[in-house]
Amino acid sequence: MKYKQDNLYALIIVLASSVWVLPGCKSSTKTGTLQRSVQVLLSDQDSNMIKTSWPSIGCWFWQKEEFTGDGYKPFIELHEQYSPFKLLTTSLRYPGDLTDPEVYKQIKAASLYAREKGMAIVMDLDIRLARDSFRAKYPDELQQIVFIKEFPLNQKDPSSIGVKGRAFEDHYTYGRTPYDVVNAKLLRVYSYQKKDGVVQSGTVKDISNKVVAVESRDSVHVSISGAIEDAAATACALVAFTVNTPDVFAPHLLSYQREILQQYADASLAGACKDEWGFPGRFTTPTDELWYSAGMAKAYAQRSAGRDLLRDMLLMSKGETGYEAERMAAVNSYMEMCSMRNGEIETDYYHAIKEIFGKDAMSATHPTWFPYPDNREVFKNGLDWWISKRDIAQTDEATPFSVRTALSKKMYSPLWFNMYYDKTIGPYYKDIWRAALAGGRLNYHPLWPVPAGQLKASLLKDSLMLAESRVSLLNYIAETSPDCPVAVVFGHPAALNWTDKKVFADVGLNVANALWKAGYYADLIPSSEIVNGSLIINKNGKVQYGPQQYEAVIFYHPEYDKRPVADFFKKAGESGKTALFRIGNWTIDFDAQPFDGNGVMGVPVRNADTLSVVPLVMEVLKSRSIPVQTEGEEHTVSGFPASVMPKAEGQLKLIDGTRIFISGEHNLSGDAIVQKVNIDGYQADIDAIGVAGIRMNRKGEVEALTCGGLKTFQGGGLNIQLENRADIALIKRSGKWKGIIHSNRTEIPPSLLAITRDWTVVRIPLIYND
């Protein structure tokens, strides 16, 4: 029998109905010795029987070695032999501007070499890696931040203040210039009276023409001589510091990031990355330091009937008696503007990738930064994660699982990938299985922090890659994301509005965590997804997000939200198909006007609190015979805030009814799965290791099966008895079985050949030894 072998010139990843050829690949065939990746000798009929499957993904961070001659080859050669990676999300951790012809040549050479080895590079081509060239071309379009600093006014002696800026850093400044202060400029000075720490209405005056400012590169000294009329006791200087990174609202940002992509159009890349986009990250977020630029001020005026952003920044930062509503409305408008602009930049980048590299090019990596929905992320990107377009849901580090599953619904992706790292390899052992129990996979970041010389092979020295190879069997049959019967919809304006400490940066994660802990998976979604039409009421009257229909929805902190959101819940309540709950009252709308949101939504939206809502929701789910999935436990990664995620052993139901069984609590390669399972009333017996996935049709016939270390399977019309355990997948299309086996042997067991003679052999990685 002839076996279809790998092709070093085409990277085709297999599953169940069509073939995905990554951009730049030529489709051809090759027979002979077994190669490393998926076979590609496919007739048109074969192509109709197999569907795209997402491959295993690894991270690659370029340092000095990769820029030296053929220094990119060792990493590719290592991972060709010792990993199952087919895509490498790649970024620079070494000086070099993307527009530099020498940087381009090295990236293209590495990309072509990766293709030769059956892999493909998805390159980080973000504009922050071309900051120097952007600054040279558009020196007036750099990001600014305004420091809003008070100082006392003396009635006789001169009054003064010195304000000094500071640089910001993230991984885009690793090995290169930080976001240094480029220049400093005094924009405005106000005076006013305060009582009990609050600015008094009617006392605010612009005294900019009465001050002397001495400006240097990174600081401004402001002085006032003589008395100020009305005996104002306080002055406030608004000082802008320009930092070395493109302004989020820069007029040429979108066009320039397209220019960078266009430069690499012929580099044989599989796509491009934009990682952790937003304003420069800050781990402390004082509200008297706000992002600003001329472009932002213009956008703000356009959306707020001509209001002056600098004057409103004083109001937003310090408050003012009699203008409490205006302050709330100004913060709502400012923060929504920032969130939407960041999402616009992300989404334009996605579309540019498709236009320049081709419709099958991948948009990577993750929009999450810190990665936790708290004040740090709020001021980074306005929690724009859900509107940052990707081909497949992508997060990083300790992003809560309720976010990961929600993003998979928004992106209509069957899987989510989480870029994961820790300083030792041990935590990977269980987290690979935890992810699988929530429909996720790891995007493998090397161990960090470790010495640079240990990065390259840090994940290859034990059987972690064998475990990944086994878990990736599920990719062949996963066509939908996890079934999460509950949505926690948090009020997006409330979460962004720092004037209300009771609701600011609180997205209801405690409620979502409690549901996950009980084994009822829940998606976390901002209410802005209602406003933009993504969260809908379907024709059957149920609330739906992407392919997911919800049995229950919890609206968390509705204060300050937009009136169409109330209309949405009113309509959903009238349908009665989805149980609705509310935590928090709704008395003010987005424009800070009085609003009886509770009354508009109506009685069907039941009032609850954080303690009572979870038992109430569980009661609804039990009454509707919604099964518990895998119970969760609190867990963290690399010191980030903890959230609840599944244990490393349990079961998962996908939206299309596929059942996933995972057992990885004790052994890295997986624990035994020996059990009789019931799938919608039909029985099956499994003896496997680590993973098992089964999809049956309404007649109880198996349509897809995947098992790690399969020994026996009986049920649904299949009876498999193997002498030696095997990692296999079987998918039926148009009445015909297609088989895939992960093995370093070319022989197919007779009992498997009895099912079909159409088998693909995918080689498993070797274990690296120094």
Q: What tens digit of pLDDT does each residue of 495-505 get?
A: 999 999 999 99
State residue 53's pLDDT score. Answer: 84
What confidence score (pLDDT) does residue 39 get?
33
Place of tokens 């020994």: 711
Whether pLDDT at 15 is above 90: no
Residue 42 has pLDDT above 80, yes or no: no
pLDDT for 7 = 29
Q: Examine the pLDDT at 40 and tell me if it is beyond 50.
A: no
The sign of the dihedral angle between the CA atoms of 45, 48, 49, 55 is: positive
- pLDDT in the model for residue 228: 61
Strand partners of residue 179 = 168
Q: Bridge-partner residues for 715, per DSSP?
A: 718
Phi and psi torsions of 134, nearest 5°? -65, -45
Phi, psi of 673, deg, nearest 5: -120, 95
Distances (CA, A) of 228 to 203, 310, 710: 12, 21, 84
Sheet architecture: strand order including 548-549: 535-537, 543-545, 548-549
Residue 49 has a pLDDT of 29
Using an 8 Å Cβ cutoff, are 260 and 128 in contact?
A: no
Q: What is the mean pLDDT of residues 4-15?
A: 31
* Alpha carbons 679 and 256: distance in angstroms, whole number: 53
Q: Give the rounded percent of residues in the chain with a pLDDT score beyond 90.
A: 88
Q: b/e per residue, 480-509, with b = 16+ CB within 10 A?
A: bbbbbbbbbbbbbbbbbbbbbeebbbbbbb
pLDDT digit string, tens, across residues 347-380: 999 999 999 999 999 999 999 999 999 999 999 9
Whether the Cβ atoms of residue 346 and residue 367 lie closer than 8 Å to each other: yes
Average pLDDT, the chain: 91
Average pLDDT over residues 421-427: 91
pLDDT bracket for residue 769 (50, 70, 90):
confident
pLDDT score of 333: 98
Q: Which helix (H) or strand (E) holds 187?
A: strand 181-192
> What stretch of H or E contains 436?
helix 426-436
> What is the H or E stretch that residue 298 is in?
helix 294-303
| Model confidence band, residue 13 (pLDDT cutoffs 50, 70, 90) | very low
CB 610 within 8 A of CB 616: no
Residue scoring higher pLDDT (770 or 305): 305
pLDDT in tens, 547-560: 999 999 999 999 99
Given a cut of 90, whether residue 467 has pLDDT beyond it is yes
Residues recorded for the chain: 770
Q: For residue 687, list its beta bridge partners.
A: 674, 712
What is the per-residue pLDDT across 254-285, written as a single tens digit (0 to 9) for each?
Answer: 999 999 999 999 999 999 999 999 999 999 99
**d(Cα 184, Cα 214) in Å, to the nearest integer?**
10
Q: How far out from the chain centre does Cα 4 lie? A: 36
Query: Rounded to an integer, what distance in angstroms lies between the CA atom of residue 188 and that of residue 135?
Result: 25
Q: What percent of the chain has pLDDT over 70?
A: 92
Q: Nearest CA to 174 among 452, 379, 385, 446? A: 452
Whether the Cβ atoms of residue 656 and residue 698 lie closer than 8 Å to each other: no
Phi, psi values for residue 302, rounded to 5°: -65, -35
Amino acid of residue 178: P
Q: Average pLDDT for residues 429-453, to the nearest whole number?
A: 93
Pair 554, 523: CB distance under 8 Å: no
pLDDT in tens, 504-537: 999 999 999 999 999 999 999 999 999 999 999 9
Query: Tens digits of per-residue pLDDT, 618-663?
Result: 999 999 999 999 999 999 888 899 999 999 999 999 999 999 999 9
7 in Cβ contact with 40 (< 8 Å): yes
* Stretch 23-34: mean pLDDT: 30
CB 455 within 8 A of CB 446: yes
Nearest to 32 by CA among 55, 5, 1: 5
Is residue 314 within 8 Å of 305, Cβ to Cβ? no
Which pLDDT value is given to residue 30? 28
Q: Which amino acid is at 736?
A: K
Q: Span 417-425, mean pLDDT?
A: 93
What is the DSSP pairing of strand 416-420 with strand 440-444? parallel
Specify the amino acid at residue 46. Answer: D
Contact 472, 441 (CB under 8 A): yes
Structural contact between residues 48 and 56, judged by C-beta atoms closer than 8 angstroms? no
> Residue 252: how many CB atoms within 10 A of its CB?
15
Residues facing residue 442 across a β-bridge:
418
Q: Which residues contact 666 (CB under 8 A, 6 or more apart)?
A: none
The pLDDT of residue 38? 32
- Name the residue type at position 81: Q
Alpha helices in 304-365 (DSSP H): 309-318, 324-357
Q: What tens digit of pLDDT does each residue of 156-186 get?
A: 778 999 999 999 999 999 888 899 999 999 9
pLDDT single digits (tens) 126-141: 999 999 999 999 999 9
- Confidence (pLDDT) at 231: 62
Q: Are strands 605-608 and 579-583 parallel, antiparallel or unpaired?
A: parallel
What pLDDT is attached to residue 177? 87
Cβ(706)–Cβ(662) below 8 Å? no
Confidence of residue 1 (pLDDT cuts 50, 70, 90): very low
Distance CA 237, CA 625 (A): 61
Looking at the predicted structure, is the pLDDT value of residue 400 above 50? Answer: yes
By the 10 Å C-beta count (0-12 exposed, 13-18 middle, 19+ buried), 624 is classed as exposed
Which tens digit of pLDDT belongs to each residue from 64-116? 999 999 999 999 999 999 999 999 999 999 999 999 999 999 999 999 999 99
Token couple for 260: 């960078």
In the predicted model, is pLDDT for residue 25 greater than 80?
no
Instruction: From 401, 387, 655, 388, select the one nearest 523 (Cα to Cα).
Output: 401
Residues 649 and 175: their CA atoms lie apart, in Å, by 41
The pLDDT of residue 3 is 29
Q: Are strands 219-224 and 212-215 parallel, antiparallel or unpaired?
A: antiparallel
Please report which residue ranges of 518-612 form alpha helices under DSSP H: 528-531, 563-575, 597-601
Q: Residue 291 above 70 pLDDT?
A: yes
**CA Rg, the chain, in Å?**
28
pTM given for the model: 0.93
